[in-house]
Structure 1
Amino acid sequence: MSTLDEEARPRRRLSREERQRQLLDVAWQMVREEGTDVLSLGRLAEQAGVTKPVVYDHFKTRAGLLAALYVDFDTRQTVLMDAALEASEPTLEGRAGVIAASYVQCVLSQGREIPGVIASLDASPELTSIKCEYESAFLAKCRTALAPFAGKDGVTPAGLRVMLGAAEALSHAAVTGEITPEEARDELRATIVAMVERNARRN
């Protein structure tokens, strides 16, 4: 088929879901290459090759775009961890290993982009509430996965916060190259196991 024929063929119109996926992919690329400071709806429209109204229809505001990026990240993390938990050995080491590997792998997949997005979320009370909502869902999933090994009262909220703090710090260190991904996963797994065992002894 000639180039002229290809150009004459009308382009398939993207569905709303496909367009949003395209816009999010372009936004992630912009954050990766230039950081979150340059991220605006106007720049996103320019980079994605669409009109501004299209971008505003999907995200409304810059805050809405940042929130959508965080939700996109969290959704991938959830899918990855759910599948791994389903296939894991029903042991404390097995469950802790899945949580550690899933968290580190998901952060590494976004390279240096996600810390910038999270920092931007933390700067806004509205966006901080969204981050807290998804963090709570993640911690609830971890509590359920670890409950059989934590004694009659289960894992405490304080213990879960220790785990999350370690996960964020170790993943960031792996992204910056301070430690290897393997070291991050191993240390996080050991931290989770120790935290759950401590809970079990208290119960």
Structure 2
Amino acid sequence: DGLTLVTLAEEAGVSRPIAYDHFATRPGLLLALYRRLDERHRAAITRALQDAAPSAGEIARVISVAYFACATAMPELGAVSAALRGNPEVEALQRELADSYTDLMAAALLPYSRLAPSALRLGCVGMLGAAEAIAAELNRDRATDDEAVTALTDAILGLLNTTAGR
């Protein structure tokens, strides 16, 4: 609640009109911050995938670790998301970013899948839903980090072993 364009300008040492010209509104500032945090997370997972050993298990584990690292290492993402709740622009941005994340995940898993690309992508949508549910359990201290990573990794590997979408 303390983040306003006025406080941003003061902290950045710039005039108020500069902050207003750049972001226009507080929701505009928060949307830019939300996008920036997502870009930081996407860059981290991309690096981790590039460094991962080329195996289904390792790719699934890297995706799982990266997902939960975002939930624990970037608590400000949840705060920004909560501050924007109900904003129609953030809902559109969240759908755009979820689609992008799904595409990244499906591309990383495609070499290890027996599913058609469209079926794999849909399965990745399901995996992200599962990841959110597991993250909720993690945040409620009903699971450890290791248990969360193992559960999501196992779910992803189960998806990869499915032949139903072929």
TM-score (norm 1): 0.71
**C-alpha contact (below 8 Å) 2:30/2:80 kept by paired residues:** yes
Larger relative contact order (Cα-Cα within 8 Å, sequence gap ≥ 6):
2
Give how far 1:176 is off.
4.7
2-side partners of 1:118 and 1:195: how far apart?
29
The structure-2 alpha-carbon separation of the partners of 1:120 and 1:96, relative to structure 1 and needing over 3 Å to count, comes to: same
Give how far 1:122 is off.
4.3
Gaps of 5+ in 2: none
The structure-2 alpha-carbon separation of the partners of 1:178 and 1:59, relative to structure 1 and needing over 3 Å to count, comes to: farther
1:59 to 17, 20, 23: 23
Gaps of 5+ in 1: 1-36
2-side partners of 1:151 and 1:44: how far apart?
50
**C-alpha contact (below 8 Å) 2:113/2:120 kept by paired residues:** no
Q: How does 1:41-190 map to 2 (within 5 A)?
A: 41-111=5-75, 113-154=76-117, 155-190=119-154
Q: How many residues align?
A: 165
**C-alpha contact (below 8 Å) 1:121/1:131 kept by paired residues:** no
Give how far 1:49 is off.
5.0
Q: Higher mean Cα deviation, 77-86 or 54-63?
A: 54-63
TM-score (norm 2): 0.85
Counterpart amino acid of residue 92 in structure 2:
S
**C-alpha contact (below 8 Å) 2:115/2:160 kept by paired residues:** no
**Aligned-residue CA RMSD (Å):** 2.2
Question: For each residue in 1:160-188, what CA deviation from the matched residue of structure 2 results, as whole angstroms up to 9, or x when unmatched?
Answer: 22111122232344345342222221111
